[in-house]
Amino acid sequence: MPEKLVEVKDVEISFGEGRKKFVAVHNANFFINKGETFSLVGESGSGKTTIGRAIIGLNDTSNGEIIFDGKKINGYLSHSEKNDLIRRIQMIFQDPAASLNERATVDYILSEGLYNFHLYKDEEERKAKIKEIIKEVGLLEEHLTRYPHEFSGGQRQRIGIARSLVMQPDLVIADEPISAFDVSVRAQVLNLLKKFQKELGLTYLFIAHDLSV
């Protein structure tokens, strides 16, 4: 029996108040079973990123429910519930040029979530995790001491993927993760995402413009 990991029920997301209120998402309804890839496809401005951001808690909802692993996650949550979700739901962003901290080394970028959530026993274990994930995404250990501007767009997106996956999430929201790339890099990034899904049993919400992707 497939098990639902996330369910979006009658969700409305609006910006602004009163006469300035703008409803960006009306009545969204869908669910994603564990281990599946669910694609959200639509034209620019249709509210795809807005829904993704609501699931990770960066946008408030004005109506409806978002259920994750059996619990409602929009609205009030305790500090520890929030922390748990930040780890379990990760997002890969549309624009790898804008989503990495330019002043941090790759080592720091990949470790930040581990530091924040104490997801390692000691320094040795942290280093081992980082070294493993950097290789898994097809980069090298010596890349860890470099800064984002020293990488190509495709490599930066690999860093973005590594940053999400090192948290061992259950759900990954991939917001047009390949739209910035040419065809050969697109295929590489998609294959990488597929590989991780198989190995780690990840569930994906995959946002795209284009059905063929």
Ligand X SMILES: Nc1ncnc2c1ncn2[C@@H]1O[C@H](COP(=O)(O)OP(=O)(O)OP(=O)(O)O)[C@@H](O)[C@H]1O
Binding site for ligand X (CB under 6 A): 15, 22, 24, 42, 44-50, 209
Residue 80 touches which of ligand X, Mg ion, none (Cβ within 5-8 Å per kind): none
| Residue partners of 26: CB distance under 8 A and separation at least 6 | 12
Compute the least distance from the CB of residue 118 to Mg ion, in Å: 32
Measured from the CB atom, the residue of 49 and 90 that comes closer to Mg ion is 49
| Residue partners of 22: CB distance under 8 A and separation at least 6 | 14, 15, 16
Secondary structure element (H or E) that encloses residue 125, with its range: helix 123-136
Measured from the CB atom, the residue of 113 and 177 that comes closer to ligand X is 177
Compute the least distance from the CB of residue 150 to ligand X, in Å: 27
Closest CA to 164 of 196, 195, 186: 196
Measured from the CB atom, the residue of 22 and 76 that comes closer to ligand X is 22
Distance between CA atoms of residues 13 and 11, nearest Å:
7
Binding site residues, Mg ion, CB under 5 A: 49
Residue 30 touches which of ligand X, Mg ion, none (Cβ within 5-8 Å per kind): none
User: What 3-state class would DSSP assign to 46?
Assistant: coil
Closest CA to 106 of 148, 152, 64, 162: 148
Residue 24 touches which of ligand X, Mg ion, none (Cβ within 5-8 Å per kind): ligand X
Identify the DSSP state of 176: S
Measured from the CB atom, the residue of 49 and 74 that comes closer to Mg ion is 49
Compute the least distance from the CB of residue 40 to ligand X, in Å: 8
Residue 18 touches which of Mg ion, ligand X, none (Cβ within 5-8 Å per kind): none
User: What 3-state class would DSSP assign to 141?
Assistant: helix
Measured from the CB atom, the residue of 27 and 145 that comes closer to ligand X is 27
Residue 47 touches which of Mg ion, ligand X, none (Cβ within 5-8 Å per kind): ligand X
How many other CB atoms are there within 10 angstroms of residue 180's CB atom?
19
